[in-house]
Structure 1
Amino acid sequence: MDVKDSTTATATAAPPQYRRPPRLTDDSDDVKPGNPPPITAQKPEPLSEPKHEKEQQHQSAIAVPSKDPDALDSGGGISFVSGSKTARFKYGYASFKGKRASMEDYFETTISEVDGQTVAFFGVFDGHGGSRTAEYLKNNLFKNLSGHPGFMKDTKTAIVEAFRRTDADYLSGENPQQRDAGSTASTAVMLGDRILVANVGDSRVVASRAGSAIPLSIDHKPDRSDERERIEQAGGFIIWAGTWRVGGVLAVSRAFGDKLLKPYVVAEPEIQEELIEGVEFIIIASDGLWNVLSNKDAVGIVQEISDAEAACRKLVQESYARGSSDNITCIVVRFEDH
């Protein structure tokens, strides 16, 4: 994620209330404006194979993370969700530092039982100003959500409140000298017959239905008309500094952390609900992928590869080959009805 050092402090205030996101129905405007064209003049070095082993026990695969920070790390597994119709799904992930000096992406794939029902949690967290916010989200966001007393009865409200709590807890414990750190979060919860996507920032979730790319989140960018209005009503501003930035600093309008930019940059999620039935697969990825691949391109790549982990590796390799200059992390969840 592209970000400059924060330079101004602002008075804190309660974040604005959650508003329903615009309806997402097509694959339009899914490549970010203002990005440089893909780099083709120099052939990138091939990505190294991941240095890990996999063990499979009772229909689940466990990946041992690579000790080489420059290697492509990948893995995956198989699980079930039960609603009116039981659905089996395979999931894979891949994460690569790429051309950045350090790795600021984190991700989480968790299958757990909540009130006797199997629930799957998937998330990609893209840090800026360091990796500590993204790491905090990996360790705490889904724990706070699954532990919310209203999670099963009113999942959407539980998501909003868990996101708020996680952001508040992180900020209260943050080092005062590290107040410019933050992270986006793109998450998907599989519960019964539903997929609930909650997004903060410019990572993204895309589904495939009948071969078509269906966006399940919309990027939180400062020049989005409703985001600009929200920021200005809170007393903030956005300016052009290579790209549109909140306060001339941050290139996303919603994120966890970023204490110096509260209350303009908030961790209020926009939530999209989708029925699992009819969804072939979903892709959750950081902007290191979406900066160079359109929704349609990404779906087209995954359609040709039945193995979810292999599909993730291909997405990362293709993003790198097309000139992505950021960390690249993605998760693919492929559904199989039974």
Structure 2
Amino acid sequence: MAASAAPRFICFLCKRKFQSAALLQRHKQLSDLHRKNLQRQEEDINKKKEELRQAILGVRRQIHDVEASIARKALSDDEAQGQRTTLELKLRQAVGEYGQVQEKLEMSRHQQVSERGNSSTFLKLSETHETHVGRLQVSVGAATWQGNKEVQEDRYMMNVQLEAPGGQRIIGFCVLDGHSGSLCVDALMDWLPRNLQKCLAAKPSLTEETLRQAVTEACVLTDDEFLAKAREREVLDGSTMIICLIYQDEGRLAADGTRGRGPCRLLLANLGDSRAVLCRSQGGRLSAVRLTDDHKPGRADERRRIEAKGGVVDMQGVWRVFTPGPANFGGRSVLWGLAVSRAFGDLLMKEPQRYGCATATGELVSAVPEIHTYELHPTEDRFVVLACDGIWDVLADDDAIAVCIEHRTADLAANALVRRAFEVGSDDNLTALVVAWQQTDAEAGPAPQLDGADAKRARVD
């Protein structure tokens, strides 16, 4: 038998061979040649990206001109339809190429972070995780892109594991969308799971009410801990959150009349404008069911709460909450506005009185989450999407579900959703988790698929 080939250590970007993995890694971390080649690669990608962006704008202008000609009856119906079809095909091709180029850019950025060995902020572009709770087999896929922003402030957690006082298993998934820096969102990655377990362990038993209490207490505790850090460093970092916990309701009877095998339930807790949307299949039709409500300052109840405490809600591009006047923060005068009404961090919005806004009487932005629960029906409920506002700002709930259902697995669906949001114009960081499930007779079973036989025939309403 021929001996197996010796491993080859090659930097394909620089077209260099090395004698060992250690030397290759040293080259990637320290070589000026490698750094310059990475920079040149990113410049080439960005140049191509801008060319495609201009091409897309040009085709859209042409489509607008054709539609204007139709309105003026300057073209026959057949001629107009032919031109529109040709231009729409050209647009789809350009948009697809635009997404491909951005994916290359994301891979280049990911490569650079990986080679620097900065594990504290390292997120995979796409990954999957299999887990279970009770007889529910769960598959979660994650995808995240930096997009057109200078830094990546999104984070996600796809393997939160909690133990209730009676030993019951709770699994969780979370998307965090940082703003004004990454200090808050990185702290949440460490502190939030720990505080969830701490607050849950203090309860006498697992019920819907005690779980609600534990989640609320954990969010407030985590926020208090971060605000202490923010005061010390004088930073304005903050973050939104959407978290989904799945647990088996052992206090209820199952369909076969036995206790301890009740239905699984979802608990959704959100702060800010990250959102959870469920895909449900009924009667051969798919529908998108929004499970959370965005916390925007323009929402009537949120506006009343803010204004009752002396805050100002005003439309400046989007609805924003403002301090009632300039604050003295970090040695300068700041008039601070925020586009969400609930979040972690955001020290100036939590303690405006401390910084010179005497007419404010309390927190303008709250860290108390809004909590919704939902009894899962595995034969009808297909999957849930958790995503940041970079997705929802450009895609309606139905559109997001339609993108996901075209893909067989949760990770492929999450990646397609992120890419689609970028292609249709999102300039934000982009992060999505897709959580799918399948009920089995055993404690563990095959990985769930998004495109079951009836789902393939279904349509999104």
When the two structures are superposed, what TM-score results if normalisation uses the length of structure 2?
0.59
Within 5 Å, give how 1:268-287 maps onto structure 2: 268-277=368-377, 278-287=380-389
* CA spacing shift, 1:172–1:314, aligned 2, 3 Å: same
Q: Where does the alignment leave 5 or more consecutive residues of structure 1 unmatched?
A: 1-37, 53-63
* CA spacing shift, 1:75–1:49, aligned 2, 3 Å: farther
Within 5 Å, give how 1:111-126 maps onto structure 2: 111-115=160-164, 116-126=167-177
The answer on whether the counterparts of 2:274 and 2:294 sit within 8 Å (CA) in structure 1 is yes
The answer on whether the counterparts of 1:47 and 1:71 sit within 8 Å (CA) in structure 2 is no
The answer on whether the counterparts of 2:303 and 2:313 sit within 8 Å (CA) in structure 1 is yes
1:81 aligns to what?
Answer: 133
Q: 2:318 aligns with which of 243, 253, 259?
A: 243
Distance 1:66 1:260 in 2: 32
Question: Which one has the largest radius of gyration?
Answer: 2
Deviates more, 1:121-130 or 1:298-307: 298-307
Q: Where does the alignment leave 5 or more consecutive residues of structure 2 unmatched?
A: 1-52, 59-94, 116-120, 249-263, 323-335, 351-362, 441-461
- CA offset at residue 241 of structure 1? 1.7
* CA spacing shift, 1:207–1:66, aligned 2, 3 Å: farther
- CA offset at residue 117 of structure 1? 2.6
- CA offset at residue 131 of structure 1? 1.2
Letter in structure 1 aligned against 2:296 = K
Q: Find the residue that maps to 1:184 and give its secondary structure.
A: strand
Distance 1:50 1:261 in 2: 33
Deviates more, 1:113-122 or 1:289-298: 113-122
1:203 aligns to what?
Answer: 274
1:91 aligns to what?
Answer: 140
- CA offset at residue 111 of structure 1? 4.5
Q: 2:195 aligns with which of 137, 144, 164?
A: 144
| 1:131 maps to 2:182 | yes
| 1:171 maps to 2:227 | yes
1:155 aligns to what?
Answer: 211
The answer on whether the counterparts of 2:231 and 2:347 sit within 8 Å (CA) in structure 1 is no
How many percent identity over aligned positions?
33
The answer on whether the counterparts of 1:195 and 1:275 sit within 8 Å (CA) in structure 2 is yes
Q: 2:410 aligns with which of 286, 293, 308?
A: 308
| 1:67 maps to 2:114 | yes
Summarize deviations over 1:145-176 as a string: whole Å, max 9, x none: 12211273410011111111110111012254
Distance 1:120 1:280 in 2: 18
Q: Find the residue that maps to 1:88 and give its secondary structure.
A: strand
The answer on whether the counterparts of 1:70 and 1:97 sit within 8 Å (CA) in structure 2 is no
- CA offset at residue 66 of structure 1? 6.6
| 1:187 maps to 2:243 | yes
Distance 2:142 2:389 in 1: 15
| 1:292 maps to 2:367 | no
- CA offset at residue 137 of structure 1? 1.3
| 1:260 maps to 2:348 | yes
Distance 1:66 1:276 in 2: 39
Q: Find the residue that maps to 1:232 and give its secondary structure.
A: helix
Cα RMSD after superposing both structures: 2.5
* CA spacing shift, 1:72–1:317, aligned 2, 3 Å: farther
Distance 1:173 1:72 in 2: 28
Distance 2:215 2:280 in 1: 25
Letter in structure 1 aligned against 2:414 = C
* CA spacing shift, 1:257–1:300, aligned 2, 3 Å: same
Distance 2:206 2:404 in 1: 31
The answer on whether the counterparts of 1:50 and 1:74 sit within 8 Å (CA) in structure 2 is no
Letter in structure 2 aligned against 1:190 = I
Summarize deviations over 1:26-70 as a string: whole Å, max 9, x none: xxxxxxxxxxxx994274224129869xxxxxxxxxxx9972799
Name whichever structure is richer in helix by fraction.
2
The answer on whether the counterparts of 2:146 and 2:428 sit within 8 Å (CA) in structure 1 is yes
* CA spacing shift, 1:304–1:49, aligned 2, 3 Å: farther
Q: Matched residue pairs, number? A: 287
Letter in structure 2 aligned against 1:209 = R
- CA offset at residue 179 of structure 1? 3.2
2:57 aligns to what?
Answer: 41
| 1:214 maps to 2:289 | yes
Summarize deviations over 1:280-314 as a string: whole Å, max 9, x none: 10000011111111100001111121200000110
- Greater RCO between the two (CA within 8 Å, min separation 6)? 1
1:18 aligns to what?
Answer: none
The answer on whether the counterparts of 1:50 and 1:71 sit within 8 Å (CA) in structure 2 is no
- CA offset at residue 128 of structure 1? 0.6
Distance 2:152 2:196 in 1: 26
When the two structures are superposed, what TM-score results if normalisation uses the length of structure 1?
0.79
- CA offset at residue 112 of structure 1? 2.5
- CA offset at residue 94 of structure 1? 0.5
* CA spacing shift, 1:176–1:206, aligned 2, 3 Å: same
Deviates more, 1:214-223 or 1:172-181: 172-181
Deviates more, 1:133-142 or 1:251-260: 133-142
